[in-house]
Chains A and B, each alone.
Chain A
Amino acid sequence: MNAAIDFASIILGGLAAGTVLFIVSVGLSVTMGLMGFVNLAHGAFAMFGGYIIVLAMNRAHFGFAAALALGFAGTAALSVILEQSLYRRLYRAGELDQVLLTIGLILIFMATLTILVGPQSQPLQLPPELGGQINLGFMQYRTYSIFLIAVGLLIVVAIWLAFERTRIGAQIRATVDNRRMAESLGINVDRLFTITFAFGSGMAALGGGLGAEFLGLDPQYALKYLVYFLIAVSVGGLGSVVGVYYASLLLGTLDFVLKLYLPKGGTIFIYVLTILVLLWRPRGLFGRKSA
Chain B
Amino acid sequence: MNSKAASVESTPAAGRLDQEAARALIRRHHLRWWEALPWLAAAAFYFAFPDYLGFGTTLMITILFALSLDLALGYAGIITLGHAAFFGAGAYTVGLLAFHNIWTEPITSLVLAALAGAAIGLASGLVLLRTQGLTLLMLTLCTMALLQEAANMAHDYTGGFDGLPSLDIAPVFGRFEFNPLYPDTQYLYTLAILFVCFVFIRTLVYSPFGQSLTGIRENLLRMHAVGAPVRRRLVVCYTLSAAIAGIAGGLWAQTNAYVNLSALDLDRAATVLIILILGGYGRLYGAFAGAVVYLTLEHFLARFYPTAWQLGLGLLLVLVALYARNGILGLGEVVWRRFRPRRAT
Q: Please list the residues of chain A having a beta carbon within 8 angstroms of any beta carbon in chain B.
A: 32, 36, 38, 86, 89-90, 93, 95-101, 103-112, 114-115, 223, 227, 230-231, 234, 238, 264-265, 267-268, 271-272, 274-275, 278-279, 282-283
Contact = CB atoms under 8 A, between A and B. Distances in A.
A33 to B, nearest CB: 10
Main secondary structure of the interface of B (DSSP, over half): helix
Given A104-B320, A111-B314, A265-B153, 5 more contacts: A100-B273, A107-B311, A230-B141, A271-B143, A274-B142
Interface string B293-334: 000000000000001101101111110111001000000000
A103 B149 contact: no
Contacts of B133: 36, 38, 95
B153 A111 contact: no
Contacts of B79: 95-96, 99
B159 to A, nearest CB: 13
Interface SS majority for chain A: helix
Contacts of B322: 86, 89-90, 101
Contacts of A279: 127-128, 131, 139
Nearest to A264: B153
A106 B266 CA distance: 14
Contacts of A96: 73, 79, 277, 281
Contact of B321 (A104, A267, A268): A104
A103 B317 contact: yes
Contacts of B119: none
A108 B135 contact: no
Contact of B146 (A97, A105, A271): A271
B125 to A, nearest CB: 13
A279 B270 CA distance: 23
A268 B322 CA distance: 37
Contacts of A112: 311
Contacts of A114: 307, 310
Contact of B318 (A36, A101, A223): A101
Contacts of A95: 79, 133-134, 137
Interface in B74-108: 79, 81
B311 A97 contact: no
A272 B142 CA distance: 8
A111 B315 CA distance: 11
A112 to B, nearest CB: 7
Contacts of A227: 141, 145, 266
Contacts of B81: 99
Given A86-B318, A100-B277, A267-B149, A111 B307 contact: yes
A104 B127 CA distance: 31
Contacts, number: 126
Contacts of B152: 264-265
A282 B131 contact: yes
B176 to A, nearest CB: 39
A186 to B, nearest CB: 28
Interface-central residue, B137, B160, B316, B317, by most chain A CB under 10 Å? B317
B135 A282 contact: yes
B311 A275 contact: no
A272 B145 CA distance: 10
Nearest to B317: A104
B310 to A, nearest CB: 4
A211 B152 CA distance: 27
A231 B134 CA distance: 10
Contacts of B127: 279
A38 B142 contact: no
Contacts of A223: 266
Contacts of B138: 230-231, 234, 274, 278
9 contacts: A32-B134, A86-B318, A97-B325, A100-B277, A114-B307, A227-B145, A234-B138, A264-B153, A274-B142
B137 to A, nearest CB: 7
B29 interface: no
Interface in B45-67: none
Contacts of A86: 318, 322
B274 interface: yes
Nearest to A235: B138
A1 B145 CA distance: 38
A275 B314 contact: no
A94 to B, nearest CB: 8
Contacts of B273: 99-100
Contact of A97 (B155, B274, B321): B321
Contacts of A111: 307-308, 310-311, 314
Contacts of A99: 79, 81, 137, 273
